Amino acid sequence: MLFKTHLAFGILLWLIIKPYFNINNYLFLSIIILTSLLPDIDKSNSLLGKKIKPISFIIEKLFGHRKLFHSLLFWTVISALIWRYAGKPYAIITLLGISSHLIADALTKQGINFLYPVSQFRIAGFIETGSLLETIFLLTIIGTIIITILF
Ligand SMILES: [Zn+2]
């Protein structure tokens, strides 16, 4: 999925879950935006990757795109560390932000291996990245965001 789709999906997630967390709204939103985009750090020509090209280039070469950095297993380990050093709420929202990215990517034809590197099982959908279908998906998310804010 494209940067803007992940961003919109992250914002929708934040709107839905923010009543359940006692964290400063701006900090909360910042963490959700960062984590909903972070997995694409493994792709040097993604919008996030371009901003930190040397780092993302190394990660892409070492780990590959949509492998380790798109593994729920990997991010669960990272979240466990966050839980240990920053606290439970930060660990949970990190995992939720990352999950929003992985779920959106799992809807694409390329799919996601949630349990990489332990399993080869891949979940894939039917949306082509950057296609009309993705635009419709994005507009649906934006529509849901507007409805959530208004009602
Ligand atoms: Zn991705």
Q: Which of 98, 85, 82, 117 is nearest to 39 (CA)?
A: 98
Contact 123, 111 (CB under 8 A): yes
Q: Report residue 25 CA to chain centroid gap.
A: 19
Number of domains in the chain: 1
14-33 pLDDT, tens digit each = 999 999 999 999 999 999 99
Measure 60 CA to ligand 1 centroid, in angstroms. 12
Q: How far is the CA of 151 from the centre of ligand 1 (A)?
A: 31
- Residue 51 falls within a domain, yes or no? no
Q: What is the pTM of this model?
A: 0.94
Q: Is residue 53 in some structural domain?
A: no
Helix (H, G, I), strand (E, B) or coil at 108: strand
Domain that holds residue 17: 3-38+66-150
Question: Tell me: the pLDDT tens digits for 21-64?
Answer: 999 999 999 999 999 999 999 999 988 899 999 999 999 999 99
- How much distance in Å is there from the Cα of 70 to the middle of ligand 1? 7
Beta-bridge partner residues of 108: 127
Residue 47 in domain: no
